[in-house]
Amino acid sequence: MRTIPDRPWTAEEILQQLETYRQDDMRAEGGRVWAYLYDSGLHHAEAVAREAFMRFQALNALDFTVFPSLLRLENETVQMTAARFHPGPDTVGTFTSGGTESIMLAVKAARDWFRDKRPGVAQPEMVIPVTAHAAFHKAAHWLGLRLRILPVDPVTFTVDPAAVEAAITPETCLIVASAVNYSHGVMDPIEELGRIAERHGVWLHVDACIGGFLLHDLARLGETVPAFDFQVPGVTSLSVDLHKYAYAPKGASVVLFRTRDFRKYQYFACTRWSGYPVLNTTLQSTKSGGPLAGAWAVLHAIGDEGYLQLAKRVLEIRKRLERDLPQRADVRVLGRPQAGLLALASDTIHLFVLADEMRRRGWYVQVQPGRPEYGLDPSLHLTVTPVRDQHLDEFLADFAEAARRTASSQGVDVNAVLSRMEFAQADVDAVLTAAGVGPEGLPQDMAAVNTLLRVLPPELTEQLFIHLANTWFR
């Protein structure tokens, strides 16, 4: 077990050790990681955001009366964000640590609002498409809601409004739509869902975490962007991440509400203990002012015209990928991407092996195992950001060569792996070992793991993930 060193380390020793820890990480800069990272390529904006982050990182947003600068920064950041989503005169919001927290706060508000309306319902329900982000599953788990999960169209990957309406019951407190969904980069039919929400008197949350900020600018560039925000009657709340296509430092998101009468259900207050009065606007109590200041700074450093130009580059890159990838390899783009994401499928290439081959070439493309019970095939997810154009030709060439090398692969012998698991069902570690997963981490080649994620029931794979986390974090 590691302990605090006896003597203080020098700054040089500390930073050198940290760099050794990073030696197996893929680099955050350079555009070679096609998920998780959102790089504007604007170094001046990154530099000022880092400086603002550091100047405010020690300030605690738990109590705005002590640090009124954070109240001003939050109000201004929320207002600048809300302005992109057709706010009404009473539209309000909250700065949060990320999309998951924004979503959980919206779900919490919808649940408590519903309890005021129908106090006799023991367990409210939430109606979501299978493409809705996992954060909604987490919110249901933590907040005690029942989930009704609906399939999506196998061609458009959007939910059917008629199916949503049919799923609504007297216990339904919330329906969910994505603008756009993470897995395929397409938008649900939000205008129709808004009418359904109004007709049944239920809350409609639009998850615009990954697409919303960008969609505003794509519409200004002439792209057809269906209405999805507060201009749609029935939309009650909307989440949008600033650390995605606003390119703010990590830990920056906003959840917006049509009116403050809806937002009040998000808050928590406690005066029933012996200490200071507690008012929490988010899930956190103590929270650093760093991400807030960094987000505020980057919005000013890039500016409205800057975001428009960045959106133009994202659009150009995405359209080139849509055109060129199917010409270079036997892959197809799923659905009709509408923001900065796309998903690829193939009938002949084992995508899990292809992802491993790309990793060996220095690229990370994200595997999506799919869900057979909903008719969702495996796919590869790509997140487009402006810096991708620096290495786009190299990426396309490597993808084509990796696909060619992968074409002869038979993939993973699932039956062989499963047979190794059958005699060790009671031993979770043995099950993971059969999949090539050890106590120190995941294998370099992930095809076997991703194949098992597709064929094993989610009830089992979720427990395996929890076991892994309980093993790795010590």
Q: Tell me whether residue 466 is in a domain.
A: yes
Evaluate if residue 235 carries a pLDDT over 90: yes
Same structural domain, 223 and 89: yes
- The per-residue pLDDT for 426 is 47
| Domain tally, the chain | 2
Looking at 231, 265, 297, the residue that finishes a domain is 297
Question: pLDDT tens digit string along 186-210?
Answer: 999 999 999 999 999 999 999 999 9
Q: Is residue 87 part of a domain?
A: yes
Average pLDDT (406-418) is 63
Alpha-carbon distance of 86 to 89, in angstroms, equals 10
In a domain, 267, yes or no: yes
Are residues 289 and 423 both part of a single domain? no
In a domain, 400, yes or no: no
In a domain, 22, yes or no: no
pLDDT digits (tens, 9 = 90+) for 324-378: 999 999 999 999 999 999 999 999 999 999 999 999 999 999 999 998 888 899 9
Residue 204 and residue 231 in contact, taking contact as beta carbons nearer than 8 Å: no
Residues 271 and 420 in one domain: no
Q: Which of 245, 275, 297 is the last residue of a domain?
A: 297
Is 247 inside any structural domain? yes
* pLDDT tier at 466, thresholds 50, 70, 90: confident
| Class of residue 18 by CB neighbours under 10 A (exposed 0-12, middle 13-18, buried 19+) | exposed
| Predicted TM-score of the model (pTM) | 0.90
Asked if the model's pLDDT at residue 119 lies above 50, the reply is: yes
**Percent residues over pLDDT 70 in the chain:** 90
Phi, psi at 173, each rounded to 5°: -105, -20
Contact 35, 358 (CB under 8 A): no
Output the domain CATH number for residue 207.
3.40.640.10
Q: What is the pLDDT of residues 153-168, one digit of tens each?
A: 999 999 999 999 999 9
Q: What is the pLDDT of residue 389?
A: 83
Co-location of 286 and 421 in the same domain: no
Residues 218, 78, single domain; the answer is yes
Q: Which two tokens stand for residue 153?
A: 């169209």
- How would you write the chain as a 3-class SS string? CCCCCCCCCCHHHHHHHHHHHHHHCCCCCCCCECCCCCCCCCHHHHHHHHHHHHHHCCCECCCCCCCHHHHHHHHHHHHHHHHHHCCCCCCEEEEECCHHHHHHHHHHHHHHHHHHHCCCCCCCEEEEECCCCHHHHHHHHHHCCEEEEECCCCCCCCCCHHHHHHHCCCCEEEEEEECCCCCCCCCCCHHHHHHHHHHHCCEEEEECCCCHHHHHHHHHCCCCCCCCCCCCCCEEEEEEECCCCCCCCCCCEEEEECCHHHHHHHCEEECCCCCCCEEECCCCCCCECHHHHHHHHHHHHHHHHHHHHHHHHHHHHHHHHHHHHHHHCCCEECCCCCCCEEEEECCCCCHHHHHHHHHHCCCECEEECCEHHHCECCEEEEECCHHHHHCHHHHHHHHHHHHHHHCCCCCCCHHHHHHHHHCCCCCHHHHHHHCCCECCECCCCCHHHHHHHHHCCHHHHHHHHHHHHHHHCC
Last residue of a domain, one of 276, 297, 318: 297
Domain-located, residue 398: no
- Residue 420, pLDDT > 70, answer no
Q: Residue 25: what pLDDT? A: 86
Range of the domain at 146: 51-297
Cα(38)–Cα(416) distance, integer angstroms: 39
pLDDT band at 386 (very low <50, low <70, confident <90, very high): very high
Judged on CB neighbours under 10 Å (0-12, 13-18, 19+), 350 is buried
139 is a domain residue:
yes
